[in-house]
Structure formats: C-alpha cells, structure tokens
C-alpha cells in the first residue's frame, strides 16, 4: 500500500501556500482566466518545460529565472493567449507581467515564475491583465486552489487537482498539484501546465532531479494526439514550512518524498489523458519484460500514441494486431516469439501466437470502460510482455473519436 493518504486542498494543501483564480477578461468566453499561486516564504523551485524549438515567452522567461536563482515566491498563469511565436513583444509582455505582479505583492520580480496557455500567435491582452493583477492578489486564499484550477483550463472539460500527505520525521508533509491539458498532448511534454506545491525542505539539485524523474514517469508518458506544444510547463515548489529536517541527499526520506511527488504527477497526468479532447475512456499500457524501464516506457508510449490503436478502442474492436504493430515499431528490439498481449483479463496473443478468444466479451469490456466513472473504472488496460527482462514501464492515453476532429477543426474560431 502507498505510504500516504489523499487529502483535500490541491496546491493549498501544503503549508504556507495561497492561491486565487479570477476572470480578468482574457478569454473571449468570459470564463476564469487568471491564476496565482503564492508561497508565504521563499520556496525552492524546479521546472520541466517543452522540448519544442518554438517556445512561448513564459518558457524562456522561466528557464532564465531558474538558471539564475533556485528560489521563487509566486507563479502567475494566464489563460486565453499562449503568448507563443509573438516575437520580442511577447517577451516584453512577459517581463511586464512579472513586474506588475511583483509590485502588487511587494516582492522582487526575480521571485516570479510565469505560465501561459491559449491560442499560439496571440499576445496576452495586457490591458485586461493590468486591471486583473490587483484583483487576483486580493483574492488570494488558503482555500483558493479550486479557483486557480478553474482559471488555467482551456478546452478541458474538468479541472485536475490532487493532494497527498505522508509522515517524515514524525511530522506531516504534503504535496498538492493542479494541472490543465486536453489537446496537443504528447511526451516531451504535452500542451499542459502543472503546478505542484510541497512543504518539505529539499535541496535545489535534489528537488530538480526528483521532478525530472517524476515527469518522465507521468507527464512524459501520456499522449492524446501526438502533438507537443509551445507552452508546456511543470513547475514545483518546496518551501520547507512542514518544519522537517532538510532533505539534501538520497535516502529513505528522499525516496518517500519522490514516490509521493511521482504519485501526484501521475494522477494529474492520467487526468489529462482521460480528458483528451473527445475521449470516452482512459487507456493504460503496461509493458514488462524489457531490458530496462526506458525501453519499456518507449514501447508503452508508442502503443498509447498509435492512432490505429486509439481508433480501435473507440470502435470497441479488440484488434490486437494494431497493438503488436505499434510495439514492433517502437524502436526497441525484442523477439517476436516472446510477445504477449492482453486486453484487460483477456489473453489475445502468447509466445507470439494468436489465441482464440471471445470477441463479443472483449468488446463488452471496452464498452464497459467507456461507460465507467471518471478515473475510477473507465480505464482500458493493455498489457504487453516482450521477454524476461526486469524493465517495466507505463504510458497513458485515450481513444480517438469523431469529436476530436470537431473540436480542433475550428479551435481559433
């Protein structure tokens, strides 16, 4: 069993954090569109960002800030305009955003991190942002996580939030997170934003290492449509307000904290994959028998990202050949005679040989998942074994439906 428990509170569950979300007039829809997360004290900051060469101004800004300084106080996120591919003016807008929120909070601009989401090529509506800054600061609350989570979403159908608590040195330690993402979701990373707060004290290098590994096992292992965005940002803060001894090297406390951090990230990542535009179910791919974890994850991500596999799941068609084809093209060598494929509890292929199976029963399993409760029993499990190695890996995705095309055919209109 996990050595932690789920609690309420999202990013304000950890001690010493407040959050807010308001409607500033950035989104044409008039929905909430400006979020702020604030640590009462300096927090160690770590980040993982998009690998795209076309990056939003906020990504370049955050990378520069984190390279220059390991601590931060606040994260400001606007929704509605991605502020990506906006040239030098986009960076000026980002810098002004940081200056505005820093002045309102009475702290240094160097203590501000930024995130943006929305339509690529559109600058932030600065007039709306300027008027919204005092309002979002005034709305800061220890119960503000839900409002913040509503203010960072775009095409999402649901908000994504989680908080966990464990005990380290006989004191409670908490990690909470919120995220957004629904389309343009693919490893390294996806069109997603995730903000994580923690009240443990962790050294900067170790916190960054923990977050990088957690990202590989969560956000870098989900896919909806094979597209990586310009704005992807995962930012994690650790402010030490739990008053536990600082974790500065690997050991039992570090392992426990990283495991809980990974669990938070995996919950948010699965929530993003399940909320994939037009999706009816979550797909989880588990791969065993590889030489190492990296190879296993590569196969799992390839299967989860296959348009043919995703379409078959939507059609409730147990076409295991598509799974085999995706595994074979993943770039990981294995012997075909060792391949095993299962859908749920149904064994379809073993030792590289097709097996007879009850197709209506397997189709019924797929239909049952599509009718299941959100993130409870709505998961289609694909299990693949490629040999006798010790490497295991997981990836998550969703089915590919007609609605995905409808949503994205007129996204800017």
- Among all residues, which ones are annotated catalytic? 191
370 contacts 378 by C-beta, under 8 angstroms: yes
CA distances to 80, 165, 173, 406 from 207, in Å? 31, 17, 15, 41
Instruction: Return the exposure string of 353-367: e unless at least 16 CB atoms fall within 10 Å of the residue's CB, then b.
Output: eeeeeeeeebeebbe
Full strand arrangement of the beta sheet holding 340-343: 353-354, 346-350, 340-343, 379-385, 282-289, 389-398
CA-to-CA distance for 135 and 132, rounded, in angstroms? 5
What is the C-alpha separation between 149 and 156, in angstroms, rounded?
11
- Please tell me the total number of residues recorded for the chain in this structure: 413
Helix (H, G, I), strand (E, B) or coil at 328: helix
- 212 vs 47: CA distance, rounded Å: 8
Phi, then psi, of 197 in degrees rounded to 5: -120, 145
3-class secondary structure, 402: helix
Q: What is the C-alpha to C-alpha distance for residues 243 and 192, in angstroms, rounded to an integer?
A: 32
Number of C-beta neighbours around residue 58 at 10 A: 31
């Amino acid at each position: 069993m996990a050595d932690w428990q789920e609690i309420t509170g999202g990013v304000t569950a950890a001690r010493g954090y407040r959050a807010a979300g308001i409607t500033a007039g950035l989104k044409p829809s008039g929905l909430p569109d400006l979020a702020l997360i604030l640590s009462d004290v300096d927090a160690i900051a770590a980040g993982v960002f998009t690998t795209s060469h076309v990056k939003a101004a906020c990504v370049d800004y955050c990378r520069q800030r984190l390279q220059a300084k390991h601590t931060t106080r606040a994260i400001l996120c606007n929704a509605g305009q991605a502020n990506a591919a906006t040239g030098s003016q986009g960076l000026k807008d980002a810098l002004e955003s940081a200056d505005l929120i820093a002045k309102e909070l009475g702290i240094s601009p160097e203590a501000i991190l930024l995130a943006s989401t929305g339509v690529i090529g559109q600058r932030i509506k600065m007039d709306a942002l300027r008027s919204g800054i005092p309002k979002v600061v005034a709305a800061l609350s220890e119960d503000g996580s839900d409002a913040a989570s509503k203010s960072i979403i775009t095409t999402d159908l649901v908000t994504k939030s989680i908080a966990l608590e464990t005990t380290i040195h006989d004191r409670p330690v908490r990690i909470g997170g919120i995220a957004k993402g629904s389309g343009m979701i693919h490893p390294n990373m996806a069109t997603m934003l995730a903000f994580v707060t923690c009240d443990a004290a962790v050294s900067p290098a170790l916190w960054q290492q923990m977050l990088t590994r957690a990202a590989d096992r969560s956000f870098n292992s989900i896919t909806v449509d094979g597209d990586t965005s310009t704005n992807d940002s995962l930012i994690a803060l650790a402010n030490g307000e739990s008053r536990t001894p600082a974790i500065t090297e690997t050991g039992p406390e570090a392992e426990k904290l990283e495991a809980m951090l990974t669990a938070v990230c995996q919950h948010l990542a699965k929530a993003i994959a399940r909320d994939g535009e037009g999706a009816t179910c979550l797909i989880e791919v588990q791969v065993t028998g590889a030489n190492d974890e990296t190879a296993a994850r590569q196969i799992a991500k390839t299967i989860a990202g296959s348009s043919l596999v995703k379409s078959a799941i939507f059609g409730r068609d147990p076409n295991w050949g598509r799974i085999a084809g995706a595994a074979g093209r993943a770039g990981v060598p294995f012997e075909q005679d060792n391949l095993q494929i299962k859908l749920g509890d149904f064994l379809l292929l073993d030792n590289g040989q097709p097996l007879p199976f009850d197709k209506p029963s397997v189709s019924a399993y797929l239909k049952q998942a599509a009718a299941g409760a959100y993130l409870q029993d709505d998961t289609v499990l694909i299990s693949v074994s490629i040999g006798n190695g010790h490497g295991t890996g997981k990836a998550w995705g969703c089915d590919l439906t007609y609605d995905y095309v409808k949503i994205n055919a007129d996204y800017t209109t």
